[in-house]
């Protein structure tokens, strides 16, 4: 149901109403008396509000693109079956520079890592 809601956002209100109806049924079914402290609908609403009120903060890197570059280099190293990166090579430096450029120039857009690796291959030739 969650995947369906993500794909078809116009059904979110319908799905929310169905979930509320189910929780109200659970309230009636599991409630021993009307003065119970725990009500499914109220608790779900409270938790939902708490999550919605949390502010998203983006992690600030020491240098732009460093985490993406480290991820790319780590995967390359693991695919080669090697150990530690012993020295800074030209291709590693190129990856770091391209990641920094990507983060600085197109901060609102996402360039796939596969596209970035194509650029690295081009710069190595």
Q: Tell me: the pLDDT tens digits for 62-99?
A: 676 777 888 888 887 777 766 555 556 888 888 888 88
User: What are the sequence ranges of the domains in the chain?
Assistant: 2-53, 66-124
Q: Write out pLDDT tens, residues 3-19.
A: 665 666 677 778 788 88
Nearest to 61 by CA among 96, 85, 94, 90: 96
Q: What percent of the chain has pLDDT over 70?
A: 58
Give residues with Cβ within 8 angstroms of 92, minimum separation 6: 73, 85
pLDDT at 110 over 60: no
- Give the CA distances from residue 31 to residues 22, 40, 65, 69, in Å, rounded to whole numbers and listed in that order: 14, 10, 53, 54
**pLDDT of the residue at 7:** 67
């Amino acid at each position: 149901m969650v995947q369906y809601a993500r794909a078809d956002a116009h059904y979110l209100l319908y799905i929310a109403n169905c979930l509320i109806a189910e929780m109200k049924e659970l309230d009636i079914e599991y409630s021993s008396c009307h003065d119970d402290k725990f009500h499914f609908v109220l608790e779900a609403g409270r938790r939902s509000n708490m999550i919605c009120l949390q502010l998203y903060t983006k992690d600030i890197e020491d240098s732009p693109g460093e985490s993406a570059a480290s991820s790319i280099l780590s995967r390359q190293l693991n695919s080669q079956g090697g150990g530690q990166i012993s020295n800074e090579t030209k291709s590693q430096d190129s990856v770091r520079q391209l990641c920094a450029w990507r983060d600085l120039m197109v901060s609102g857009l996402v360039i796939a890592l596969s596209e970035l690796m194509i650029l690295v291959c081009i710069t190595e030739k």
